[in-house]
């Protein structure tokens, strides 16, 4: 049964529609990420669930109860902000217990829940400290504990890791996922970081210009993008303009070289592009696969991978290979042959 | 060599500044202690402090100062908070409005108040109590630039929107947010504003004089006209009172700054 439902949600500020016909159903305990570039409407959508913004039209339901126009303090929805938003005048324990105090819980209950939450975030000895004495990562853990202490129906996280450095970000996102799974709490997570979304989500909602581009699991979003935007936004991709040779077989031509696409829809004469991920390309020639010839334009070392940029029929093509010690790197300008499976590419 | 020369100049100007500040102060202190011929004594202070009119006027102005602070905080804290939260674009307009008391002379303002409120429909000059209401309104307006700027500066050090939304998501209503989240984080700013408001009311002359209320300002002018040593003693007492107020601010505001930095 659907736990959180957003039905035909629209949000307009003055003359600008920032969220357009947004529909989403989340199951209880599901972790859903809203992924998209800045200004795509993901934070506005989250804020409508939190009650900080109200939809111009549409309905928000939680556990079958409508809360479209319920004020934020009556929703029992936990929120974690990018800027932590810890109360500077309160200690860690007071921050965590704040929501319970407001709810009129007894001191014993508050103390017990605060201890429980401090243990959950592995900060048992930090209760008396003030936010000023904590690192960014610690502050965000406290913010998470504070949001969870009230036992919210839904947990909302608005780019919670954006202000942290890369290493802490990776650690904390795993921590968030662990806590979410431990508590089984329905979670909506807003991010513009595709790696973050792909690594911790049950489902991802990719948004662009206020609209949903695609909803799916990490595998579906990455391997089977339904739109050009998703293909380009999530991961790296080569998009090559091709001419159709055989529309029923999915055979196309890039310059003088023939390619067979694994997925193709109705090729109705519109400009067609072949999509293939850089990691799907290999060096060499394989019988029965797609084989293209070009020359090396540049080489980039990206740590664990090496990106070789090729010129194939006048079009740039990227190929990623694992950076092994035995890897032989081609010289710039050298002729180079790449191969990729028919199933690895598709037509957009 | 250049650095040494620069340091010498810095020291020179620091000494000039200290002399500029402390020589008149020392002169006033010395003069206030010479009421008895040929020896130093605290007689001028005794005379001032034993004058029932001084105590009455000080008590009146101090009470009015506290009421003015209370009214100012009650008006400006929610107003500025709301402006930050909902209409940040109104800030330039607020800047202009709150600077008006600096532009309009107090004497003009006092005449305006008397003309407007000395007749129906809102007559506020018939009884001392009603006049006190009128003078409080006047004090709130003339001290508005100080209280507004102090609270505004405090608001800028905290992330008002995020703190408000965090408190809302935890179940707080507007009053709880203001009382338990916003107000404690602006404690230092409000105390600073309050000190200046208090000092303004204590030293205010024109409103007290024109509305014929027993304020300290008019009393000090009268004493200054009639006597020699007591005004100097009163000046030193005011100076001491200011330092006591600063001490109170430091005491209540300790530790606030470091916490505010992180909330950004």
**Rounded distance between C-alpha atoms, residue A102 and residue A88, angstroms:** 17
Q: Could you tell me the residue range of the domain that residue B79 belongs to?
A: 52-252
Place B258 in a pLDDT band, splitting at 50, 70 and 90.
very low
Cβ–Cβ under 8 Å, residues B156 and B31: no
Q: Do the Cβ atoms of B203 and B98 come closer than 8 Å?
A: no
Q: What is the pLDDT of residues A8-48, one digit of tens each?
A: 999 999 889 999 999 999 999 999 999 999 999 999 999 99
Nearest to B170 among A99, A130, A139 (CB): A99
Integer Cα distance of B244 and B260 in angstroms: 25
What sign does the CA torsion over A180, A183, A186, A188 have?
negative
The ipTM assigned to this model is 0.85
Q: How many angstroms separate the CA atoms of B215 and B217, rounded? A: 6
Longest dimension (CA), chain A: 77
**Rounded to whole angstroms, how far apart are CA atoms A212 and A206?**
6
Residue B104 is classified by DSSP as S
Q: How near does any CA of chain A get to the CA of B261, in Å?
A: 7
pLDDT in tens, A92-137: 999 999 999 999 999 999 999 999 999 999 999 999 999 999 999 9
Determine, yes or no, domain membership for B259. no
pLDDT bin (cut points 50, 70, 90) of residue B2 is confident
Question: Does any domain span residue B35?
Answer: no
Closest residue by Cα to residue A22 from A2, A42, A1, A39: A42
pLDDT of residue A228: 87
Per-residue pLDDT of A134-147, as tens digits, reads 999 999 999 999 99
Rounded CA-CA distance A215/A106 in Å is 43
Specify if B16 maps to a domain: no
Q: How many residues does chain A have?
A: 348
Find the closest chain B residue to A96 by CA distance.
Answer: B170
Whether B111 has a pLDDT exceeding 50, the answer reads yes
Whether residue B8 is contained in a domain is answered as no
- What total of structural domains would you count in chain B? 1
Chain B residues 172-191 with CB within 8 Å of chain A: 172-173, 176, 180-181, 184-185, 187
Distance between CA atoms of residues A226 and A228, nearest Å: 7
Q: Which two tokens stand for residue A28?
A: 């209880």
Q: Looking at residue B86, which CATH number applies to its domain?
A: 1.10.3720.10
Q: Is residue B58 part of a domain?
A: yes
Residues of A in contact with B170 (CB under 8 A): 73, 98-99, 102, 146-147, 150
* Within a domain: B33: no
Contacts A–B by Cβ distance under 8 A: 85
Angle at A200 between CA A198 and CA A206, to 5 degrees: 45
pTM of the full structure? 0.82
Closest residue by Cα to residue B242 from B186, B173, B192: B192
Whole-angstrom Cα distance, residue B198 to residue B202? 6
In a domain, B264, yes or no: no
Q: Could you tell me if residue B218 is inside a domain?
A: yes
């Amino acid at each position: 049964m659907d736990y959180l439902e957003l039905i035909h949600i629209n949000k307009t500020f003055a003359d600008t529609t920032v969220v357009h016909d947004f529909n989403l159903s989340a199951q209880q305990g599901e972790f859903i990420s809203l992924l998209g570039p800045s200004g795509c409407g993901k934070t506005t959508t989250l804020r409508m669930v939190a009650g900080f913004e109200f939809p111009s039209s549409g309905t928000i339901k939680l556990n079958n109860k409508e809360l479209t126009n319920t004020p934020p303090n009556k929703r029992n929805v936990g929120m974690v902000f990018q800027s932590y938003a810890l109360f500077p005048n309160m200690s860690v324990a007071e921050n965590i217990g704040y929501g319970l105090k407001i709810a009129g819980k007894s001191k014993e209950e508050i103390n017990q829940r605060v201890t429980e939450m401090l243990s959950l975030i592995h900060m048992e000895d930090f209760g008396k400290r003030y936010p000023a004495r904590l690192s960014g990562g610690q502050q965000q853990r406290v913010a998470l504990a504070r949001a969870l202490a009230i036992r919210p129906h839904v947990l909302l996280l608005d780019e919670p890791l954006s202000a942290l450095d890369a290493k802490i970000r990776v650690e904390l996102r795993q921590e968030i996922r662990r806590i979410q799974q431990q508590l089984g709490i329905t979670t909506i997570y807003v991010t513009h970081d595709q790696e973050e979304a792909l690594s911790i989500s049950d489902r991802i909602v990719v948004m662009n210009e206020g609209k949903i581009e695609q909803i799916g699991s990490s595998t579906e979003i990455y391997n089977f993008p339904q739109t050009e935007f998703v293909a380009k936004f999530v991961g790296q991709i080569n998009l090559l303009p091709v001419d159709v040779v055989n529309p029923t077989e999915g055979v196309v031509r890039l310059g003088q070289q023939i390619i067979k696409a694994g997925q193709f829809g109705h090729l109705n004469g519109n400009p067609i592009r072949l999509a293939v991920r850089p990691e799907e390309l290999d060096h060499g020639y394989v019988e029965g696969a797609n084989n293209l010839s070009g020359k090396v334009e540049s080489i980039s070392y990206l740590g664990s991978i090496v990106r070789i940029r090729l010129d194939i029929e006048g079009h740039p093509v990227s190929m990623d290979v694992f950076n092994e010690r035995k890897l032989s790197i081609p010289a710039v300008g050298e002729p180079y042959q790449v191969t990729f499976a028919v199933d690895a590419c598709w037509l957009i | 060599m250049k650095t040494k020369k620069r340091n010498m100049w810095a020291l020179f100007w620091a000494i000039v500044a200290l002399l500029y500040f402390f020589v008149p102060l020392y002169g006033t202190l010395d003069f206030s202690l010479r009421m008895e011929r040929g020896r130093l004594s605290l007689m001028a202070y005794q005379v001032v402090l034993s004058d029932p009119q001084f105590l009455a006027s000080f008590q009146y102005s101090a009470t009015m100062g506290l009421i003015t602070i209370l009214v100012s905080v009650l008006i400006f804290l929610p107003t500025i908070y709301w402006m930050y939260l909902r209409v940040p674009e109104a800030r330039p307009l607020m800047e202009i409005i709150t600077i008006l008391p600096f532009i309009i002379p107090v004497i003009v303002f006092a005449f305006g108040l008397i003309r407007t409120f000395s007749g129906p429909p809102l007559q506020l000059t018939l009884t001392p109590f009603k006049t006190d209401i009128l003078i409080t309104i006047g004090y709130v307006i003339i001290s508005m630039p100080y209280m507004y700027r102090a609270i505004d500066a405090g608001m800028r050090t905290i992330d008002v929107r995020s703190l408000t939304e965090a408190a809302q998501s935890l179940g707080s209503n507007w009053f709880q947010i203001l009382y338990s989240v916003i107000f404690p984080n602006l404690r230092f700013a409000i105390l600073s504003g309050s000190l200046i408001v208090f000092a303004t009311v204590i030293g205010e002359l024109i409103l007290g004089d024109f509305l014929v209320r027993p304020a300290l300002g008019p009393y000090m002018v009268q004493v200054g006209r009639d006597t020699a040593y007591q005004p100097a003693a009163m000046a030193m007492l005011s100076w001491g009172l200011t330092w006591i107020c600063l001490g109170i601010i430091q005491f209540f505001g300790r530790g606030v700054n470091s916490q505010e930095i992180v909330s950004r």
